[in-house]
Structure 1
């Protein structure tokens, strides 16, 4: 009998536990719809709140109620008039703080020739922050433009020729070629303590440059004629002989022109006491690897060995 009672008790316990578990699952099933309803209700309330706030902002963003009251212009501006910038911004504010068209303001400011880049943002509670990156002129381009730090040409209404900038000249569309060659010449001449103050590429695609000794910007420049052909070879020859040419000058003597447009040598025109010198044989120049000979009364010519020098047909 005791065994039967024990068995019945165990069976009854399992039935009660199963019944309790089933009841708990039924309660969870009834709870789930309630949570879903509450979540949906919360989302609906949030959406209504957003729509309401949006409508309120539109009603508040009337220029008379929430206008743009302050404009801050930032940037290292040397050539741009801040007053002109302020006027352009003010003329393009067509709404209140929240609806003012920042893209339109930026577009109008980009039209200024001295502006390289612009960033415009709102500044709470009633201001605009305008950051301007100004063009940095590194050289003149022809007579009416500049070249900036990226090698791009920009053309303001007027060009200030009093700036201490090198002059670059060339045909339209050749600015990249001239700028790249200028950068190379600048590095090469700096190693010899010279500055390049002018570089020309003419319509025939012939190169010519002017240099001065570093720190002597007011000195008379030396003109170097490289011509159209074998530019690299001529440039290297010039770099090789320039130090010796400078060392062998007589007192008061200055080099006016060095013409590299020869297959095996070069011609040097000297200036002495404001007049051109009259003969190489009296110059006393000693350039390793070269001998000297008279070309004419206005020029001096250096030759390699005994090879005769003839002017190229198209230099």
Structure 2
């Protein structure tokens, strides 16, 4: 994928995801608008970009798709765009057909019997299906047959879902390769990096426009310090996201994805808090778009691989490796394995 193609996608999203349209979709006020927005995005053709060439897709690697995930986060697209890309690639590889709709991705909670339950799935209420990793299988579960509990952060867009039986799946095949959590970690880290860039841009613009005591608040040293820390955190998250998606194929590396999500989540907390400090009370109003992005950042932090889950995943791998910490980082937490001396 060329840089000009990525720029084209970003410019198209910017035109489609106006602030008012995003808020209308997330508020649940207009289901037709939500469907219209997804149809516009899907028509661009990027949702099949991870599907292999032989199955009619573009055959992009995860590294090539990373900028698309970040662009969706930067634009504020309410739907699970990156997850849909992943789900369509997995469906095509398994010989299954996607219906062109939006698909969320999630891991099932441990449940007794045949029930399937997923906690806090971003964008689930805007999706037609959820691709669920359940025990040793992938299940494509229809959202309209689930018991729904509104999400904690976006109650009209996200949800916890439960199905009475795995037999409700419209498609099922044996799992192989990375877990749902690893896919979501890579996708969410990239989307979070894009959202943080947008939050930083909003904060810089506001600091330059808002005047107090006769000058822009961006000229005050305390505000400059906040903006500098935000830029540092957003930059480190963007680097981590590139690392988490730094794979030659469509599948993520579990440890790199966990490290990327952990760093992005830590950065998101600081960026969100500092942005609201710069904006003051106006930043928490429903009318201001800042809350759309900071709410999304907190939701992604709590979804799939949480900070604790990612840290535990990395810690267990380090202990089991039998290596020193330095050697473990070089061999397992770098996109390119460091060469060792003979």
Compare CA radii of gyration and give the structure with the larger one: 1
Q: Give the strand-richer structure, 1 or 2.
A: 1
TM bucket (normalised to shorter chain) is under 0.3
Query: TM-score normalized by structure 2?
Result: 0.21
**Higher RCO, Cα 8 Å, sep 6+:** 2
More helix as a share of residues:
2
What TM-score does the superposition give when structure 1 sets the normalisation length?
Answer: 0.23
